[in-house]
Amino acid sequence: MQSKEFKIEGMSCQHCVMAVKKELSSLAVESAEVEIGKAKVIFDETKVTEEQIINAIEEAGYKVIEN
């Protein structure tokens, strides 16, 4: 398992949090703790890639800031 925190630009409310959670739940992630401005995701890198997680966050309408 791998744990990674993604910094997210453009989130401002709980609706934003729910939109990101919804997109991440469509992936095979172990858990996702989402709050305004960031998401901490625990995932099995053999099932889902960082790129897929970033794409899901961007699909929700937000931008991932490179760490």
Which domain does 61 fall in, by range? 2-65
Number of domains forming the structure of the chain:
1
Please give the chain's pLDDT, 67 residues, in tens. Answer: 999 999 999 999 999 999 999 999 999 999 999 999 999 999 999 999 999 999 999 999 999 997 5
Q: Are 65 and 8 in contact (CB under 8 A)?
A: yes
Contact 6, 54 (CB under 8 A): yes
Amino acid identity at 30: E
Containing 4, the helix (H) or strand (E) segment is: strand 2-9
User: Domain with 58 in it: what CATH number?
Assistant: 3.30.70.100
Of the candidates 50, 7, 4, the residue with the CA atom closest to the CA atom of residue 27: 50
Q: pTM for the complete prediction?
A: 0.91
3-class DSSP assignment, residue 47: coil
